[in-house]
Structure 1
Amino acid sequence: MLSKVKRRIHDDWTLFLQNYWLERKPVYTPVDPQWHNEGLSFTFISIILIGMTLFFSPMPPDDLLRHVHAWQYDYDYRLMFDGYPYHFNAWFGFDWLAGNLYQTFGAFSIKLIQTASIALLALVVYLNLHEAHKDTRIFLLLFIIWAVGDRFLLARPTIFETLLMFLAIAASYKNLKPQWEALLHLTLGCLMASFYHLFFIYLIPLLFWRRIYLLPLLAGAVGWQWLSGGQYFQEILDIFNFGSMRIEGLNVTENRFALPGILLLGAFALLFVYRWQRIDKQWLLTAGWFSLPMQIRYVMDNLFPILIFILGRHWKIRPHPFLILFMLVMVKGTLGSSAFYFSQKPQTTDYFAQGEHILAQNLGVNFWVIHQGGNQQVKVAPAMEIGFADKAIQQATLDKKISCELLRKFDFDKYVENSAVELPTECLQLQASTADGYKIWKVIKNNVE
């Protein structure tokens, strides 16, 4: 097996070097003799992408850092964050999988989850461009990774929901035996339903492709209703009101209004697609569904790849191998800086004591605290949703300023920041500074340590 892979890599590399010296024409069409030359293999490119992600990708800055530690809190986010209002874990399936990986591989599991995200992204793009030339498929998958790969490096449950949805759509092209096809789609649907409490966002558009997804959609609703103790549907309504819980001036970047971007992508697709086929209409319905929230996150994670899928099916071009090499260089900048960062070294410094109550400067710092203090089961404010925090804490987060009164009112033991504007040193004592720019301050309570 290993020798076969090595031979395939050698053949692909030789082919690449040979093709580099073909006529210097940016793209080839079916009338060019180069159109029929053998293209690069997906396996060859995948190994390069996996290597880039393993060796160079940075530590994710947010949610994945809490998902790998949820098991240490018995999957109860009320023990991890101040103000988390729900008595069920809204990402139970994903947290269970991430937690088991963390218990097996330690902090290196974060790298593995990121690598799985990028590898799965490459696979679903390649599969969904099955009508394009092999080199075109590779070029476009590299283009997508370059453009939005940093989003997929976050490796959140929503990212994997998107990837599994695209995989399910790709599977709908295959002519499998009916029983195997049903099993495959049901497995993918149930996996999606278990990962994320808002799973229906990603399962509903799959009904445009296969009606069988109605079964995991119903099963997921029943399962979450049971897991939440009968409160699921009521709490879903509350989730959609998160925005009203935030004070004025606090905005989440990825929830930004994105109608101009949606219109631009739609116009671009219509400009280059002349004959809509049945599969184009299914993609159009899927894109329409993710346009409804009008949020930038869905533009980047869902609508942009869909646009590439539609255009890639209709553009009969093959890029010059040099363009693929160029995109590989560009992808390197997306998947990681020039720094070599292979291992996630375990934390050896105990910044926090068991069960300490910690105020983080902002979203981002709070996830770092959870990652550093998971073994000590620290409790952190603000939570993953800034609106869960008391309005006084939200205001302090917005202003980057805190007071002794605030720290003592909520009985915080530590304050962690990486860019505070003003600090009340009369009730804070610097405990530690980290190489990555975080400062841990001990709260002096009642003017006594």
Structure 2
Amino acid sequence: MVHRNKALIAAFALAGAASLALAGCSSSGGGGATTAPTATSTGSADPAAACKPGTPSTGPFTLATILPQTGSLAYLNPPAEAGYGLAVEDIDAAGGVLGQPIKVGPITDSGASSDLSVSTASAAQIASSDAQVVLGAESSSVSLNFVDTIVSKCKVQISPANTATELSGYSSYYFRTAPPDTVQGSALGNLVIGDGVQKVAFIVFNDAYGTGLRDVVEDTVTKAGGEVVYGAKGKGQEFAPGQKTFSSEVSAALAAKPDAIVILAFDETKQIVPELKAQGWDLSKTYLVDGNTADYSKDFEAGTLTGAQGTIPGAQPDPEFKQRLVDFYKKSANADLKDFSYAPESYDAIVLAALAAEKGKGTDGPTIQANLAAVSGTSNGEKCSDYASCLALIKSGKDITYTGKAGIGPFNSQNDPSSAYIGIYKFDTNNTPVFQKSIQGSVN
């Protein structure tokens, strides 16, 4: 198995990225931004409140990553790598940021929510580096573990996959290119109700992502006249992340006689599904979400999940972009890319940050933070879909709206996308999710 760090570094070298650092000195933290607010929409103090404007830095745009190389979400690492790696390649091909190639590093492991020591160590490494933009994490619980460490150093954190509502407006220096669970949860709840389901059971882990998404789906289902018969909010029926056996949870859920079961979990799904099958559940009446809508062709007997459905935030990549991702990953990791979850969001996160640096004429965190919303379209600027064309508009003095690959709307006041697509998938006889359609939703 190719070690991802070395593979990506080799790829960036091929692409012309000049200086790749795996560690570095603390940034001087120049400015260009307005002073960060002292409180967030969550009601707590902004951990980046001490970040002050100053003279913008014109050194290399430096990117760090904290993505799941290990743990239950490791299958999401390849598409994220392909997304941000291809973005770096495209940006450098268009002249870089402020005329300089992007500097990449540290490239770190976020691990899983079941072992937060991994992300704690990685975040400490990034905090002491000269990176000013940090991509990650994929898991909301993992991001909540280290976000303060990152943003308190005036570094901009952008997650391509966090969806927990708890992160909306968490910090002025925290952004995400994936929509919060208010969008995915509403889409999933409406999908369930639209399929004629009246009684729903949740098998959900006790994690900010799982319970937050459950709450939104539950609200959508009950408002439409449905009923939650197991795993509802406040019932204390969640399981611990990383749990290995699920006989009692499945037995209790089936005893409630649901019409459908929604599984809100990560890698635990590989134990939950066989238990459901063993206890006689019709798995075509099962719904999954972005944390577990994955390729199970090597995990389950053929036909196990046929007809089950899942949701994944994000637009379906167009064929040309998909092929570019595949080609890049083959070159960088010498492996085939089969999952594209959050690849567009990873790509857009880096392009947006680079455009923000160009607009503010500074590569420091405060300058990038101050200009991210504007280049995403809050200034109603001219639309552009790639770094090169957007850069040309910025250099001509125009405001821009980067439309990107994920199809998200401009950042709102909570640094969430103001609109986003949710993909609906159905599992085939090989236990592989097949894209059916996209639904666009707005972020409240």
Is TM more than 0.5 here?
no
Structure with greater Cα Rg: 1
* TM-score (normalizing by structure 2): 0.26
Structure with higher strand content: 2
Which structure has more helix as a fraction of its residues? 1
